[in-house]
C-alpha cells in the first residue's frame, strides 16, 4: 500500500541554458552532460553549483548522433552509443575536461592501442576519444560505480570492458579499456542493463534477469581454454509446431491469430536457475597470473505479461528504468590516481525496475528479496532511484516516493538492529508518496546529489499555454536563466534543475506533519516519524556524510527522531510497544528526561501503556550509572504500583532507585505482599528497613524465613547484595550488614548466585574484596570462606581446579608469612573433610611428621591442615599446583610433608623415601605401609630395604630408629618375596643372627603355603 502525504521535497528550480533541444543527458561528479537532438553532434557541459546554479563549461563535438550516454565517476569518462551513416559506434571520451575548458586538441585512438609513441608531455592536455569496435551493434551501456568497468549490451550477448590505468611516465597516467569478457545469452535482446560490483541486471520488454559474476579459483593449468561454459539447463522440447502432415500449415494459420504470452513468473535465488536462459562466458583478455575467472550465479528472474484491459492488450507495456543502487560502508580516505576519494566498501545492493503502472525494488546483496512495490497513479515514463527517494515521471507529474534502502542496509551493517539495543523501522514498512508535482510533458529524468535534472517537452497544443506568464513555478524565488539561440525553431521544451530540499528541512516538515495524526491516527503518526527517521539514517549512511557541513545537525535530528519514536511506542497501544526501549536508548535521553517527557510534573498518573512499562522495567533492571531524584523515584513507584506491582521488589533494588523514600517503598511493598508474597519481597522489605534504620523490622523480616530459603531468595534478585557503579561491582548496605551479622548467610547466598550463573568467579572476588575493604592484592578471609564453600557444590572441572589453586596459593601465602586470618574461618578442616570430598583425610604419616616439633598457633595450624588435606585428596592437579607449592622448603615439617605428598602424587616414591630417611626416618615405614602398595610395592625391597641397611651400617647403634625401621621392613619383604629373591636383597656382610629370624619366617611361609 502506498500512502500519500502532501509534503515538499522539491525546492527551487532553474532552467539549464542549453543552446539546442536535448536528446540525452546524464550527470557526473559535479557536471551535467547534454547531448543535442539536432544534427550538430555536440555535447554541452555544465557545472552544477550550489542552490542549483548551472554554469556552462564548454562543449565538445561527437563523431555521430548520440543514442545513449553514461558517465563513470570512477575514471571520469563519458561513454556514448553514436550513430553515423546508419552505423552504430561505441566510444569513450576521456580527459574531456580539457576540451570543455577550451582546448582544441583531440586524439582518436582504438581501444588497447599502444600509447607510448603517440602520447608525450606536450599532448597530455587533450581529450581522447577511444573507439571500441564490436561485432554487433551496441544497444545499451552501463558503467560500474565501484570500479569504473563498462558493460555493453548487444543482441544475444553482453561485453565487459575493464577500466585500466596506463602509467606512461611519472607525470602522465592514461585511461584505457580492455575487452575482458563476453557473456553469451541465447535469444535475449537487452533493452536496458545495469552494472555494479560484478552484479548485472538485464531487462527486455517484459523480462528481468539479475546475475552475479562470482570469482572462482583459477586452474593451475595455464593452457586451459579461455571459454568457460556455465552449467546450463536443458530447454524444454517444443512439440507444439512440428510438421506432422497436411494439417500443420492450417494449424499454424490458426495460431497466427493469437498473441502468445509467457506465464508471469518470479524466481529468486537458486530457483532463478530454472529460467531456462543459458549463459556462456567467453574470456577475451590475454591470460596471465592475475586473470580472473568467473562463474555465473543467478539471483533473480522475473517475467511479466502485457497489461490486460477490456480493449485488449496494451502494446506499451514495457519495462523501463532498471537500476542497481549500491550503498557503501565507509572507511578512511585513500589516494588513487592523483585524486583523493572516500574509501568505499560495498555494504548493500538494490535493484529497481518498473512497468508503466508499478515499480519493484529488490535487495540483491546478501539476500535476494522484494522490498517494496510502487503503484503509480498514472502511466510512468521513467524513474530514478536514490538512497532516500524514488523519483518517477508520468505524463503530467514528477512524483516522489520514499524507499527502504537505508532500512535494509542498516540491518546489513549493524547486527544489533532489531534487538533491545538498537532499532530501525522495518523494511516492510509501507512506502508513501511525498509529493506529486505538476509538470507539462516530462520526458526524461536523472539525479545528481540533491539535484534532479528533468526534461520536459509539451505537445503542440500545450505550447501556447506554456508561454503564458502565469506559469506556476516550484518556488517564487526561482530564476530563469534560459538562453536559447532560436526559441521559435525549437518550441515547447525545457531542461530543469530541480533542487531537493535539505534533509533537515524535509525532516522537520515530516515531524510537524506527524503531529496532526498524534491523537487521531496512531499508525499514521508512527509511519511518518519512521519515514523521517529513515530519511535521516540514509543521510548518515552517505559516504561523504562525515565531511558534510550538516553533520552535527543531522546527528541531532537522528537522536531526536529516535526520541519521537520512543514517545510513540510508549504512549500508544501498539503491538510493537517493545521498540520504545531501543529507540530511547538510541536517542541518548536519560531516564529522568524520558519521565519528564511522558509524565509531566504535577500530572496525576492514571494509566501507563505497555511500551513505557517495558522501557522502565528494562532500564531499571540494568546497571546504569544514573540515579533518579527522590521525586522521580517516587513517581516510578507509583507507575509500577498501578501497572505491574509484582515488579516492585525488583525495581526497588535498581541502582537508579537509591534515592527512593524507603518508608513509601515499604508501604507499597506491604500492599503487594497481601496478594503476592515472595522471598524476594521479604528481603526487599528488610533492605528498606535497613535504609530506614529500623533494625526491629529488619530482624522480623529476616526471621520470617529459614536461612537456606533466604539464601535462595537472593537468586531472584542479586542486586540486593551487589550492584554495578561505573563498571565496578559494589556491595550494597544489605551485604555490608550481613557481613557483620550473618557472614554464613552472605557466603551461602553468593555461592547460590554463582551456581545459578548470577555472578562470575572474578566478579565474586572483587565483591568480597570491596566488601572487606581489602586491596586488590590482599585476599580477605570471607573470600576464602566463599571459595571453600563453593568447592562443596562445584561440578565444573575447570572452575574446580581454579578454586583448588586459589585456595592452595592462599594457604601457602599465609603459612609463609605466618599470617593469621583477620576473621574467624567459617569452617574448620574437620568441617571441610566431612562436607567436601575435595578435602581428604590427612594421612597418618603426615600426622606423624607434624607431631615432631613445636605446635603452631591455632589459625596458622588450620591453614596447614587444610593445605595438607587438599593434597591428601585426589582432586587437585599436582602438576599445576607445583609452582604455587615450591616456596615451601623441605627444612620444616610443613614443607617436608608437602614435598613428600607431591612426590607421592607424581609417582616419585623413591624420591619421597629418600626425603623421609633424610629428614624424618621415624615416618619412613609408616609412609611405606600407607603408600607403597600394588604397583609401587617393589619400592620396599628395591629402595627402602637397601637404604635402611646402608644407613644402619653407617650409624650402628647410635640411631636405633634405623634398626627398628629395618626390622619392620624385613618383616614386610619376607612376606612378599620368595626365599631365593629375599636372600638376594640381603647384604653379604650382614650379621646372620640379625637376619636369620626373617629368613626362617620367609621359609616357613613357603612351607605353610
- In terms of phi and psi (left: phi > 0; alpha: psi -120 to 50; beta: otherwise), the region of 757 is left
Q: Considering only CA atoms, which of 175, 185, 167 is closest in space to residue 150? A: 175
- In the DSSP assignment, the letter for residue 654 is S
Q: How many Å apart are CA 395 and CA 377, to the nearest integer?
A: 11
- In 419-510, the DSSP E strands lie at 432-438, 442-448, 451-457, 493-500
Residue 469 grid coordinates: 506568464
Would you say the C-alpha torsion 437, 441, 445, 448 has a positive or negative sign?
negative
Residue 364 grid coordinates: 540483491
CA 537 to chain centre: 17
String of DSSP letters for 348-414? EEEEEEE-SSEEEEEEESSSEEEEEEEE-SS-EEEEEE-SSEEEEEESSEEEEEE--HHHHHHHHH-
Listed in sequence order, the residues at least 6 apart from 362 whose beta carbon sits closer than 8 Å to its beta carbon are 210, 300, 350, 351, 352, 368, 369, 370, 371
Sheet containing 432-438, strands listed edge to edge, beginning at the edge strand earlier in sequence: 3-4, 432-438, 397-402, 389-394, 380-385
Contact (CB, 8 A) for 152 and 134: yes
Give pTM, 2 decimals.
0.80
pLDDT at 838: 92
Task: Compute how many other C-beta atoms are within 10 angstroms of the C-beta atom of residue 957.
Answer: 8
pLDDT at 758: 92
pLDDT at 91: 94
Contact (CB, 8 A) for 328 and 346: yes
Q: Considering only CA atoms, which of 554, 550, 440 is closest in space to residue 493? A: 440
Q: How many Å apart are CA 364 and CA 485, to the nearest integer?
A: 47
List, for the chain, all residue ranges whose pLDDT scores fall below the cut of 70. Answer: 1-2, 100-103, 114-124, 218-263, 307-315, 330-343, 459-491, 602-604, 776, 853-860, 956-958, 988-993, 1005-1009
The most distant pair of C-alpha atoms in the chain lies apart, rounded to whole Å, by 147
pLDDT at 957: 66
- In 673-756, the DSSP E strands lie at 722-725, 728-731
Residue 961 grid coordinates: 630408629
pLDDT at 157: 95
pLDDT at 1005: 66
Listed in sequence order, the residues at least 6 apart from 949 whose beta carbon sits closer than 8 Å to its beta carbon are 966, 987, 990
Contact (CB, 8 A) for 587 and 554: no
Q: How many Å apart are CA 669 and CA 684, to the nearest integer?
A: 8
| Radius of gyration of the chain from its Cα atoms, rounded to whole angstroms | 44
Residue 7 grid coordinates: 509534503
Amino acid at each position: 500500500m502506498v500512502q500519500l502525504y502532501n509534503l515538499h521535497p522539491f525546492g527551487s528550480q532553474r532552467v539549464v541554458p542549453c543552446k539546442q533541444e536535448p536528446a540525452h543527458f546524464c550527470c557526473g561528479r559535479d557536471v551535467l552532460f547534454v547531448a543535442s537532438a539536432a544534427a550538430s553532434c555536440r555535447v554541452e557541459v555544465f557545472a552544477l553549483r550550489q542552490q542549483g546554479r548551472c554554469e556552462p563549461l564548454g562543449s565538445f563535438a561527437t563523431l555521430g548522433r548520440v543514442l545513449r550516454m553514461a558517465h563513470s565517476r570512477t575514471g571520469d569518462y563519458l561513454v556514448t552509443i553514436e550513430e553515423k551513416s546508419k552505423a552504430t559506434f561505441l566510444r569513450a571520451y576521456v580527459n574531456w575536461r580539457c576540451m570543455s575548458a577550451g582546448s582544441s586538441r583531440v586524439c582518436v585512438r582504438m581501444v588497447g592501442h599502444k600509447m607510448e609513441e603517440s602520447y608525450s608531455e606536450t599532448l597530455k592536455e587533450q581529450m581522447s576519444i577511444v573507439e571500441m569496435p564490436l561485432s554487433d551493434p551496441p544497444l545499451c551501456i552501463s558503467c560500474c560505480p565501484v570500479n569504473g568497468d563498462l558493460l555493453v549490451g548487444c543482441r544475444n550477448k553482453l561485453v565487459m570492458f575493464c577500466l585500466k590505468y596506463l602509467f606512461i611516465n611519472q607525470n602522465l597516467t592514461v585511461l584505457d579499456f580492455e575487452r575482458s569478457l563476453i557473456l553469451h545469452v541465447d535469444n535475449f535482446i537487452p533493452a536496458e542493463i545495469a552494472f555494479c560490483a560484478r552484479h548485472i541486471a538485464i531487462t527486455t520488454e517484459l523480462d528481468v534477469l539479475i546475475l552475479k559474476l562470482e570469482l572462482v579459483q583459477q586452474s593451475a593449468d595455464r593452457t586451459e581454454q579461455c571459454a568457460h561454459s556455465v552449467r546450463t539447463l536443458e530447454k524444454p522440447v517444443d512439440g507444439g509446431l512440428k510438421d506432422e502432415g497436411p494439417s500443420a500449415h492450417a494449424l499454424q494459420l490458426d495460431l497466427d491469430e493469437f498473441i502468445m504470452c509467457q506465464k508471469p513468473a518470479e524466481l529468486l535465488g537458486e530457483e532463478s536457475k530454472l529460467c531456462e536462459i543459458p549463459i556462456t562466458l567467453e574470456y577475451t583478455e590475454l591470460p596471465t597470473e592475475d586473470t580472473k575467472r568467473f562463474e555465473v550465479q543467478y539471483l533473480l528472474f522475473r517475467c511479466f505479461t502485457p497489461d490486460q484491459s477490456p480493449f485488449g492488450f496494451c502494446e506499451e507495456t514495457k519495462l523501463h528504468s532498471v537500476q542497481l543502487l549500491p550503498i557503501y560502508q565507509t572507511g578512511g580516505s585513500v589516494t588513487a590516481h592523483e585524486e583523493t576519494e572516500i574509501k568505499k566498501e560495498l555494504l548493500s545492493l538494490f535493484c529497481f525496475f518498473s512497468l508503466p503502472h508499478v515499480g519493484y525494488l529488490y535487495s540483491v546483496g546478501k539476500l535476494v528479496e522484494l522490498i517494496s512495490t510502487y503503484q503509480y497513479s498514472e502511466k510512468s515514463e521513467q524513474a530514478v532511484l536514490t538512497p532516500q527517494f524514488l523519483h518517477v515521471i508520468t505524463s503530467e507529474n514528477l512524483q516522489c516516493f520514499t524507499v527502504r534502502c537505508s532500512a535494509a542496509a542498516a540491518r546489513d551493517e549493524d547486527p544489533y538492529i532489531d534487538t533491545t539495543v538498537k532499532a530501525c523501522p522495518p523494511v516492510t514498512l509501507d512506502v508513501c508518496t511525498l509529493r506529486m508535482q505538476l509538470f507539462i510533458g516530462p520526458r526524461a529524468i536523472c539525479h545528481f546529489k540533491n539535484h534532479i535534472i528533468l526534461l520536459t517537452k509539451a505537445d503542440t497544443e500545450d505550447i501556447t499555454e506554456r508561454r503564458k506568464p502565469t506559469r506556476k513555478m516550484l518556488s517564487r524565488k526561482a530564476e530563469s536563466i534560459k538562453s536559447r539561440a532560436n526559441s521559435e525553431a525549437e518550441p515547447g521544451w525545457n531542461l530543469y534543475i530541480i533542487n531537493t530540499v535539505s534533509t533537515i528541512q524535509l525532516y522537520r516538515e515530516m515531524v510537524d506533519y506527524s503531529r496532526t495524526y498524534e491523537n487521531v491516527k496512531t499508525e499514521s503518526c508512527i509511519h511518518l516519524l519512521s519515514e523521517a527517521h529513515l530519511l535521516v539514517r540514509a543521510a548518515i549512511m552517505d559516504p561523504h556524510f562525515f565531511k558534510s557541513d550538516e553533520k552535527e545537525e543531522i546527528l541531532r535530528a537522528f537522536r531526536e527522531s529516535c526520541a519521537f519514536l520512543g514517545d510513540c511506542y510508549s504512549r500508544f497501544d501498539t503491538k510493537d510497544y517493545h521498540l520504545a526501549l531501543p529507540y530511547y536508548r538510541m536517542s541518548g535521553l536519560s531516564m529522568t528526561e524520558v519521565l519528564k517527557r511522558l509524565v509531566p510534573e504535577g500530572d496525576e498518573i492514571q494509566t501507563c501503556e505497555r511500551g513505557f512499562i517495558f522501557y522502565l522495567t528494562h532500564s531499571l533492571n540494568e546497571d546504569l550509572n544514573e540515579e533518579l531524584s527522590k521525586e522521580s523515584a517516587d513517581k516510578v513507584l507509583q507507575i509500577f504500583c498501578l501497572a505491574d506491582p509484582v515488579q516492585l521488589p525488583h525495581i526497588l533494588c535498581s541502582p537508579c532507585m537509591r534515592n527512593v523514600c524507603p518508608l513509601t517503598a515499604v508501604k507499597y511493598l506491604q500492599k503487594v505482599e497481601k496478594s503476592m508474597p515472595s522471598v524476594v519481597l521479604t528481603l526487599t522489605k528488610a533492605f528498606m528497613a535497613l535504609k530506614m534504620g529500623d533494625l526491629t523490622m529488619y530482624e522480623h523480616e529476616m526471621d520470617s524465613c529459614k536461612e537456606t530459603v533466604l539464601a535462595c531468595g537472593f537468586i531472584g534478585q542479586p542486586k540486593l547484595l551487589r550492584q554495578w557503579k561505573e563498571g565496578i561491582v559494589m556491595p550494597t548496605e544489605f551485604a555490608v550488614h550481613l557481613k557483620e551479622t550473618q557472614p554464613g548467610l552472605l557466603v551461602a547466598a553468593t555461592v547460590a548466585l554463582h551456581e545459578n550463573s548470577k555472578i562470575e568467579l572474578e566478579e565474586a572476588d572483587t565483591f568480597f574484596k570491596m566488601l572487606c575493604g581489602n586491596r586488590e592484592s590482599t585476599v580477605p578471609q570471607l573470600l576464602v570462606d566463599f571459595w571453600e564453600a563453593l568447592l562443596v557444590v562445584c561440578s565444573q572441572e575447570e572452575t574446580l581446579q581454579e578454586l583448588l589453586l586459589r585456595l592452595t596459593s592462599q594457604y601457602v601465602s599465609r603459612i609463609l608469612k605466618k599470617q593469621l586470618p583477620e576473621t574467624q574461618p567459617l569452617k574448620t578442616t574437620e568441617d571441610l573433610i566431612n562436607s567436601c570430598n575435595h578435602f581428604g583425610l590427612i594421612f597418618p604419616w603426615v600426622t606423624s611428621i607434624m607431631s615432631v616439633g613445636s605446635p603452631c598457633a591455632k589459625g596458622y595450624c588450620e591453614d596447614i591442615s587444610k593445605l595438607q588435606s587438599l593434597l591428601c585428596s585426589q582432586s587437585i592437579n599436582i602438576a599445576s599446583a607445583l609452582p604455587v607449592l615450591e616456596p615451601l622448603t623441605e627444612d620444616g615439617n610443613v614443607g617436608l610433608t608437602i614435598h613428600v605428598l607431591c612426590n607421592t602424587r607424581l609417582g616419585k616414591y623413591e624420591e619421597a623415601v629418600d626425603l623421609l630417611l633424610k629428614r624424618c626416618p621415624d615416618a619412613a615405614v609408616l609412609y611405606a605401609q600407607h603408600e607403597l602398595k600394588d604397583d609401587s610395592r617393589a619400592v620396599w625391597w628395591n629402595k627402602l630395604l637397601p637404604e635402611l641397611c646402608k644407613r644402619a651400617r653407617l650409624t650402628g647403634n647410635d640411631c636405633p630408629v634405623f634398626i627398628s625401621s629395618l626390622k619392620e621392613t624385613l618383616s614386610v619383604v619376607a612376606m612378599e618375596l620368595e626365599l631365593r629373591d629375599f636372600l638376594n636383597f640381603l647384604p653379604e656382610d650382614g650379621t646372620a643372627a640379625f637376619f636369620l629370624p626373617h629368613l626362617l619366617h620367609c621359609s616357613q611361609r613357603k612351607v605353610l603355603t
